Structure formats: structure tokens, C-alpha cells
Amino acid sequence: MREDLKSVDPAAQALLKVGAQKKIETSFERAEKLKPCPIGHQGACCKMCHMGPCRLVGKEDEAMGVCGASLPVVTARNFARMVAAGTAAHSDHARDLANTLLAVAQGEAKDFQIKDVRKLNRVAGYLGINVEGKSVNEVAEKVALKFLEQFGQQRGELAYLSRAPKRRQEIWKKLGIAPRAIDREVVEMMHRTTMGVDQEVNNIMLGAMRTSLADGWGGSMMGTDISDILFGTPKPVKSTASLDVFKENHVNLVVHGHEPSFAEMLVVAVEDPEMTAYAKSKGAQGVNLVGMCCTANEILVRHGIATAGGFLQQELGLLTGMIEAMVVDVQCIMPAIGELSKKYHTKIITTTNKGKMKDAVHIEYDEHHAMDLAKKVVRLAIDNFPNRKKEDVVAAAVKPANMIAGFSDEYIEYMQGGLYRGSYRPLNDAIIAGRIRGVVGLAGCNNPRICQDSMHNFLARELIKNDVLVVQTGCSAHASAKAGYMTPEMALDNAGPGLREVCEAIGIPPVLHLGSCVDNSRILTIASHIAEAGGLGDDIGGLPAVGIAPEWMSEKAIAIGTYFAASGVPIIFGAGSPVSASKTLKDIMENKWWDMVTAGFYFEEDPGKILELALKLIDTAREKLKIRKYESGRFGTERVLMDMAARRAASFATPHGENT
């Protein structure tokens, strides 16, 4: 690990130098100048009312706010509010998609179609909707209405909880943490953490788990499913990743943020011959659409659109001087890009009333006129091409890394047996035999307080070396993609012998790109399938699986970590703990939660210790399951993950039998 570097990504390093030469500050420098408030950083600052903010310093059992709130209560409330905010963000994203699905079903959003009818029917099944004799649009309408109901229903529980293993559902019921409705859990969490309501630490944390489950098994899972229904379920696609995916002779248009609908329209619009002709009339050869952050992941896994990387790349991208327009919507958009764009010819285009920005052009997206608006944006970018200043242009001069992305849970099932025999059993067998030691979901953000990508890359490399299959989402996936880890060849050279054999048999990378952060819900689905496939217990809790977010910064990451723990997957976060002020809270999350939900939530800053802990958790789970003790290079005699269907799958055919 290089402590002296701001990033391990050579393209980022090159652009950071450009920034330094031009005396342009980015979040990397601001993070150095602006140290976090130590009291707030550890979760010991209470600003729920105007008697404070109270800074609870001193001994844990003595520190107290003006109202008498104890340190553990304050820390728990702060944590729970982060969960609520993260849940709100993912779920509001899903709400917009549900409204789009409804508009499409009702014939009001004519530029979209239902791309994956098979998935629509599968989802209808989960929701108890009978599809017999109904047209595609009729089913889609019922599905959309049922989804919208999930936000505000006053009775019952979230429909998707039934997708979890029975054991897990029982645990949630017993603890009283089965979420009732998405909005209700977020609202209730805001209520119970306001001044003078919930004063019992364990109860606040149970509430946090219930709220987070409304994200994982609610908003996020819905977001993933609706995107698949409307835009297609991902299957492996080739692409490239780097800050150097911008083209000097093209109009460069970046989509940055999270919601995929408008980006999907832009993917079509930039290919329109009318747009290419218009670009040529302005001296460019065409329009180069590039993704950033989670919008990048959405259009990468479905269309193979190149990615410029994750959260910390947004300012660096502008420093290339080659971006004509950056279209943003919601979440992880740095306010700094508005001011920075003024130093260049780049136009920032905001597209939602929820997220406006000073110094940006506002073109409000509306799914009812999606294509017209997409073309308007593309034209604006093209019109800006002649304004590009030659002297501003810097190429990072780092060859973009090749990658394969697009491993949906459906595809992972398909690749283990083909369309009609798809199953998770071969994966379970590989785990039981010790070829695969365990599975790690490596996810989450970048954070300028940590050398960019250093922990993501270190952990991905070390985990595969130790025969751990790595599944990735969000900015962590960008980190591996840029480093070139998402190719089948990576397995040959770097994976442990067992994992390498499995990857070779199917022709997959040892590091699988599952999509955006809402697509962490795919990991929940995979974990449920593994539990149901047999041989590894009957619950998600107890599987040799761990979730890690080593460079996290967002409230959304906290919501994700909490719903994984509440679902039975132990979680390790790097980048400092927002609950470190309270030993009581640390004990609840690291120990008591094991008794309650068969998983703990750990904060550990040292990457070596994170690795050690992850492997220990995996090995302990193996021991408890009484499966073969992991030893590198020594496997059991169980079925090898290789048969004709698996070999055929290596050609990356679609999980749904269509032609690619």
C-alpha cells in the first residue's frame, strides 16, 4: 500500500498532476486541507435539536447531551439516520423507475419498451400477480402499481421479503424487523431518532436494520428488477475502463449519477445518424458517450458503454478538457464540478428537479418525452464541441483496460447449466469441495481520504489469490475494471488454483461485475439461491460469504452494509468508523448482532486486517457448515464445475435464449 499516493490509478495520477500544474484544487486536495471534525467523525455529535449541537466527549457512561441523551444513544441515532438517508436515496430511485414502468405500460412513454418479458413475468410471480391471459402491458401495469404500493402501504410486509430463504424470514419476524413499507420505515426512523423518542440503543439499531431491509429487499431490489424489465437483464459484454476513454476527435458526452432511464435514451440518441451528421457538421467524427459512477455501471452492463470510472473521477474527467457535456441526475454528484466546469468549455446539465446546481444548464428529464430530450442534450453537447480549447486538452495517456461486465444473477445461474438446467448447485459444489473458499461482495465508494482504489485493488487481488470468488458493484467495480482485473486471463495469472479451475471451466473472470450499487440486491438474490440450492445450510446467515466496502463514504453504503448484516452476511467497512465513539455500539454490531442475525458489522481501517478478518469469517463459516477445510490446491472429489452446458455458456449467450 502506498500511503504517499493519492491514487493507484495511473490515469488519475496523470490528471492530478495536471490539476497541480494548473493550481486547480480537487477533492483530493480539499481532503488534505479539511480535516474531519473528530467528534462528528466518530458519531459523538448530536444535532437533532437546537439546544446543541452537543459534542459528547469524555467517558462513554458519563458523556451526556443537554437533554440527557447518552453517548451510545447519540451514536446509534446518527448511524440509524445514515441508514434512513441511504434507504431513501436507493428507494426514491426505484420510485422513479416504477413510475416510468407505469407510464410505459399505459402507453404514455412511447420511447421505451418492455425489453425483458421473461423477467417481467418472473417478477409478477414474486408479487403474486397472475399473468395468464394478460398482455405484456397489462402485466407491466399491475407490476408497476404493486411496486408503487410497496412505498406507502399501511398494512402487511414488503412483498419481496418472500424471496429470502424461509429461515431468514423467520428471523426477521422473531426480531420484529420485517419492513412494512419503504416510506414508512424511513419516516419512522426519522421520527424515532428525533429529540426525545427512542432512547434504547439496541432498539434503535433494530430499527436501523428494519429500515435497511426496506432498502435491500425493497427499493434496491425493485430498482434492479425494473431496470432489467425495461432495459434488459445484463449478460456478459466487453468494454473498457479508464479516464482515457475520451476521444479527441469526438464530441464527448458523459452521463454521471444513478438513474438509468435517461442514460438509456442517450445510448440510442448518440447512435442516431442525424446526430452523427450533426456532429460532423461541427467538425467532430461522432458522439462518444461515456459513463461515470453508477450510471456508468448501468449502461456498461447492458450495452458495453465504456466507463470513465467512479466517484473520484468526476473532477479529474473535467481536467482532460475534452468533455463537451456532463449530464447529471441524482447522488454522488460533487457540487465542485459546477465551479470547475467554468474553467473549461464543459457544460454540466442537470436533469431533475431534485438535483439542481449553480452554474449548470437545466434540462428536466421527463420519460414522456425521453427521446426528444435526449436529442436536445446531444445537440447541446455537439454545439459545444467547437468551443473546446486545444490548449486545455490533456490525454491521460493510459491505455484503457479491457473488461467483461454484466454478470446478473440470472446469467450466473444460466452459466452453471444452461437455460433449462440453470442452477446454483455447481457453485455450491465448488465451495463444498474447497475449490472456491468463499464469496466476497467487494463494493462501495472511493473516498479521497484513502489512496484511490488502493484498498479495492489490494483486496481483489489477495482474495482471488486465496480462492475467494469476488463479486463487485459500484465504484469498487470501477476500481477493478480500471486495473484490468475483470478479464478471464486475470484468473489464469492471479487466482488460486481452485478458483482458477472454476473460472477456466466456465470462461469467466475471477472478479465479476454485477452492476451499480442498487444491484447489490443481485448479491442478496445470489445468496438466497445458494442457500436454496442445498449443501450449505438453509439460510444466508452462515454461508462462507462476506461483504466489504473498504473505501466507503456515502450514507447509501451504510444502508447497504446494514441490510447485508441483517440478511446474514458479515460486513467489514474500511475508511473509519462512524460509531467508534461508543464501545456499546461496537459491541452490539460486532457481537450481539451475531446472536440476532448471524452476522456482524465491523469497521477496520487496515487493509491487511480486513483481508485477515474476511478469510477468518469465511473459514469459520466453512467449519460450522462442516464442509471440507480449505487448503490451497487440495480439493474434494465433488463434481467439477464443467460440463457441456457450461462450456457453451462460455460463448456468453444470453440467459434468456435470445441472440446477442
- The residue from 103, 245, 517, 611 that contacts ligand NFS (CB under 6 A) is 517
Question: How many residues comprise the chain?
Answer: 660
Nearer to ligand NFS, 109 or 571 (CB): 571
Nearer to ligand NFS, 333 or 430 (CB): 333
- The residue from 79, 147, 217, 311 that contacts ligand NFS (CB under 6 A) is 311
Burial of 272 (0-12, 13-18, 19+ CB in 10 A): middle
Applying CB under 6 A, the span of 96-104, 341-349, 422-430, 549-557 interacting with ligand NFS comes to 549-557
Segment 59 to 98, residues that bind ligand NFS, using CB under 6 A: none
Closest distance of CB 490 from ligand NFS, Å:
21
- The residue from 80, 221, 319, 332 that contacts ligand NFS (CB under 6 A) is 332
Segment 217 to 276, residues that bind ligand NFS, using CB under 6 A: 258
Closest distance of CB 363 from ligand NFS, Å:
22
Nearer to ligand NFS, 262 or 424 (CB): 262
* Region for residue 504 given its phi and psi (left: phi exceeds 0; alpha: psi -120 to 50; beta: otherwise): alpha
Please report where in the chains the cell 455500539 appears, as a residue.
Answer: 585
**CA–CA gap between residue 312 and residue 297 (Å, rounded):** 15
- The residue from 444, 498, 568, 570 that contacts ligand NFS (CB under 6 A) is 444
The secondary structure of residue 7, as a DSSP letter, is: B
Applying CB under 6 A, the span of 25-33, 196-204, 215-223, 554-562 interacting with ligand NFS comes to 554-562
Applying CB under 6 A, the span of 72-80, 136-144, 333-341, 552-560 interacting with ligand NFS comes to 552-560
Closest distance of CB 70 from ligand NFS, Å:
31
Segment 10 to 69, residues that bind ligand NFS, using CB under 6 A: none
Query: Which run of H or E residues covers position 594?
Result: helix 593-597
Closest distance of CB 64 from ligand NFS, Å:
34
Closest distance of CB 515 from ligand NFS, Å:
10
**CA–CA gap between residue 516 and residue 474 (Å, rounded):** 5
Query: Which run of H or E residues covers position 255?
Result: strand 251-257
Half-sphere exposure of 167 toward its Cβ, with a 13 Å CA cutoff? 14
Closest distance of CB 127 from ligand NFS, Å:
25
- The residue from 241, 445, 451, 589 that contacts ligand NFS (CB under 6 A) is 445
Query: Which run of H or E residues covers position 207?
Result: helix 201-214
Counting residues that bind ligand NFS (by CB under 6 A) gives: 14
Q: Give every CB contact of residue 1 below 8 A, 6+ residues apart in sequence.
A: 451, 454, 455, 458, 607
Q: Strands, DSSP E only, in 49-156? A: 54-55
Closest distance of CB 547 from ligand NFS, Å:
13
- The residue from 441, 474, 568, 600 that contacts ligand NFS (CB under 6 A) is 474
Applying CB under 6 A, the span of 63-71, 72-80, 263-271, 553-561 interacting with ligand NFS comes to 553-561
Nearer to ligand NFS, 192 or 256 (CB): 256
The secondary structure of residue 359, as a DSSP letter, is: T
Residue 579 found at the interface with ligand NFS (CB under 6 A): no
Dig out the grid coordinates for 346 from the structure. 464543459
In order of 388, 400, 445, 487, the CA distances from 250 in angstroms are: 11, 17, 30, 27
| Mask for 271-310, x = binds ligand NFS (CB under 6 A) | ----------------------xx---------------x
Q: Are 239 and 304 in contact (CB under 8 A)?
A: yes
In order of 57, 452, 552, 580, the CA distances from 575 in angstroms are: 22, 12, 6, 12
Give CA torsion, residues 479, 220, 47, 202, to 10 deg.
-110
Q: Are 88 and 189 in contact (CB under 8 A)?
A: no
- The residue from 279, 475, 495, 572 that contacts ligand NFS (CB under 6 A) is 475
DSSP characters over 11-33: HHHHHHHHHHHTT---HHHHHHH
Nearer to ligand NFS, 332 or 337 (CB): 332
**CA–CA gap between residue 634 and residue 435 (Å, rounded):** 8
Query: Which run of H or E residues covers position 253?
Result: strand 251-257
Closest distance of CB 186 from ligand NFS, Å:
17
| Mask for 163-202, x = binds ligand NFS (CB under 6 A) | ----------------------------------------
Closest distance of CB 551 from ligand NFS, Å:
9
Closest distance of CB 295 from ligand NFS, Å:
8
Closest distance of CB 68 from ligand NFS, Å:
35
Q: Are 419 and 646 in contact (CB under 8 A)?
A: no
Nearer to ligand NFS, 231 or 311 (CB): 311
**CA–CA gap between residue 387 and residue 8 (Å, rounded):** 32
Residue 344 sits at φ, ψ, to 5 deg, of: -125, -175
Closest distance of CB 537 from ligand NFS, Å:
30
DSSP characters over 546-588: EEEETT--SHHHHHHHHHHHHHT--EEE-S--TTTT-HHHHHI
Q: Are 498 and 434 in contact (CB under 8 A)?
A: yes
Nearer to ligand NFS, 555 or 638 (CB): 555
Q: Which chain residues interact with ligand NFS by CB under 6 A?
A: 258, 293-294, 310-311, 332, 444-445, 474-475, 517, 554, 556-557
